[in-house]
Chains A and B, each alone.
Chain A
Amino acid sequence: MSQTLSFWAEYLPKLLSGLVISLEVTGAALAIGIPLGLVAALLVQSKSRSVRWTTLAIVEIGRGAPALILLQFAYFGLPSSGLQLSSMGSAIAALSWTTCAYTSEIIRAGLQAVPRGQNEAAMTLGLSRLDALRFVIVPQGMRVAAPALLGFAILMLQASALCFSIALPELLSRANLIGTTTFRYMEILMLAALLYAAICIPATILVAVIERRLGQHTA
Chain B
Amino acid sequence: MTLDGVLLIAGGIYWTLVVTVCAFLLGAALGVPICAMRVSRSRVLNAVSVSLIVLLRSVPPIVWIFLLYFGLGSGFLTINPVPAAIIALGVITAANMAEIYRGALSSIHPGQWDASHALGLPVWSEFFDVMVPQLFRVTLPSATTYLIGLLKDSAIASTIGVAEIAYLANFLSNKQFHASLQIFAFAGALYILISLPLAAVARDADARLRSKVAQ
Question: Among B39-47, B120-128, B133-141, B154-162, which stretch is in contact with chain A?
Answer: B154-162
Which residue of the partner chain, among B74, B153, B166, B182, contacts A72 with CB atoms under 8 Å? B166
On whether the beta carbons of A66 and B152 are closer than 8 Å, the reply is yes
Taking the closest CB of chain A, its distance from the CB of B63, in whole angstroms, is 5
B residues near A179, Cβ cutoff 8 Å: 70, 74
* Chain A residue at minimal CB-CB distance from B157: A68
On whether the beta carbons of B58 and A204 are closer than 8 Å, the reply is yes
Asked whether any CB of chain A lies closer than 8 Å to the CB of B115, the reply is no
On whether the beta carbons of B159 and A165 are closer than 8 Å, the reply is yes
A70-B169 Cα distance, complex, nearest whole Å: 12
A68-B72 Cα distance, complex, nearest whole Å: 24
Known A61-B192, A161-B60, A172-B60; contact A68-B179, beta-carbon cutoff 8 A: no
On whether the beta carbons of B60 and A159 are closer than 8 Å, the reply is yes
A residues near B62, Cβ cutoff 8 Å: 161-162, 164, 172
A197-B56 Cα distance, complex, nearest whole Å: 9
Main secondary structure of the interface of B (DSSP, over half): helix
On whether the beta carbons of A189 and B67 are closer than 8 Å, the reply is yes
B residues near A81, Cβ cutoff 8 Å: 181
| A interface bracket (residues with beta carbon within 8 Å of B) | 35 or more
Give the number of chain B interface residues (Cβ < 8 Å). Answer: 44
On whether the beta carbons of B66 and A172 are closer than 8 Å, the reply is yes
On whether the beta carbons of B63 and A193 are closer than 8 Å, the reply is yes
Taking the closest CB of chain A, its distance from the CB of B95, in whole angstroms, is 12
On whether the beta carbons of B178 and A80 are closer than 8 Å, the reply is yes
Q: Mark A67-96, 1 if CB is under 8 A from B, else 0.
A: 111101100111111000000000000000
A159-B149 Cα distance, complex, nearest whole Å: 13
Known A73-B184, A77-B185, A186-B76; contact A196-B192, beta-carbon cutoff 8 A: no
* Chain A residue at minimal CB-CB distance from B59: A193
Taking the closest CB of chain B, its distance from the CB of A169, in whole angstroms, is 15
On whether the beta carbons of B191 and A69 are closer than 8 Å, the reply is yes
Q: Mark B161-185, 1 if CB is under 8 A from A, else 0.
A: 0000010011001000111111111
Which of A65, A67, A69, A162 has most B Cβ within 10 Å?
Answer: A69
- A-B residue pairs in contact (CB < 8 Å), sample of 5: A61-B188, A65-B188, A72-B166, A183-B74, A186-B76
Residues of B whose CB lies within 8 Å of any CB of A are: 54-55, 57-64, 66-67, 70-76, 152-153, 155-156, 158-159, 166, 169-170, 173, 177-185, 187-189, 191-192, 195
Extra inter-chain contacts (7) besides given A68-B155, A186-B71, A189-B70, CB under 8 Å: A64-B191, A66-B153, A69-B187, A79-B180, A172-B60, A186-B76, A204-B57
Top-5 shortest CB links A-B: A65-B188, A200-B58, A64-B192, A158-B60, A73-B184
Residues of A whose CB lies within 8 Å of any CB of B are: 60-61, 64-70, 72-73, 76-81, 157-159, 161-162, 164-165, 172, 175-176, 179, 183-186, 189-190, 192-193, 196-197, 200-201, 204
